[in-house]
Amino acid sequence: MTLRQLAPLFGISKSAADRIINRIAPLLALRPRRRFRKDTVLIVDGTLVPTRDHAVAEQSKNYRYSTNHQVVIDADTRLVVAVGRPLPGNRNDCKAWELSGAKAVVGNTTVIADGGYRGTGLVIPHRREPGQAELPAWKEEHNRSHRKVRAGVEHAFARLKSWKILRDCRLKGDGVHHAMLGIARLHNLALAG
């Protein structure tokens, strides 16, 4: 709902609704977990959020001004455990992994990622060596199971982006980060019941 639609429901002005939401939004934000069980497996991937604030966004592969958000979920529960700070959308995932602060949040926990995270120390799929025709059967099997586990983060993105604000964010400055954290918290509440 827009502020123009929300304000009459509570009998307040549009500007009052805006002030209230700006005050409450950071309180709804997801707080990253600091500790993980020893056997926890996490999944990370980056997603682009279209943003109209060109101060925090850059043109990305979809030719829109976007921000790159690194989202970390728990492989077992599918709950979002951390969301990195937004970076311009033209940053690749391996660079955004470190710069967004997501790497610092997870520490030494085992993290699964896609092939875009080469050289980061994360668990990524096997690749063919130069001149190699195909992978051995055991590596193909490992890649198959890796894809099945990693699909969880793509499903989380689909649920997160069902919220209209993440399909075209009009908030300025830290607003896109607060929106992503708030939606992640609502996603966790919906999954946990």
For the stretch 3-31, pLDDT in tens is 788 888 889 998 988 888 778 777 777 77
Q: Rounded to a whole number, what is the distance in angstroms from the first to the last CA of the chain?
A: 23
Q: What is the pLDDT of residues 87-111, one digit of tens each?
A: 998 888 889 999 999 999 998 899 9
Report whether pLDDT(1) > 90. no
Phi and psi torsions of 6, nearest 5°: -75, -40
Choose among 33, 37, 116, 27: nearest CA to 73.
Answer: 33
- Which pLDDT does position 92 carry in this prediction? 87
Quote the pLDDT of residue 189: 87
Residue 178 tokens read as 């607060």
The residue ranges of every structural domain in the chain are: 31-126+135-192
- Rounded CA gap, 93 and 105, in Å? 16
Mean pLDDT across 120-142: 90
Phi, psi dihedrals of residue 171, rounded to the nearest 5°: -75, 150
The predicted structure's pLDDT at residue 97: 93
User: What topology does CATH give the domain 31-126+135-192?
Assistant: Nucleotidyltransferase; domain 5 (3.30.420)
Whole-number Å distance between alpha carbons of 186 and 180: 10
Q: How far apart are CA 110 and CA 139, in angstroms?
A: 19
Provide the whole-model pTM: 0.82
Q: How far is CA 150 from the centre of its chain?
A: 14
pLDDT at residue 2, rounded to an integer: 77
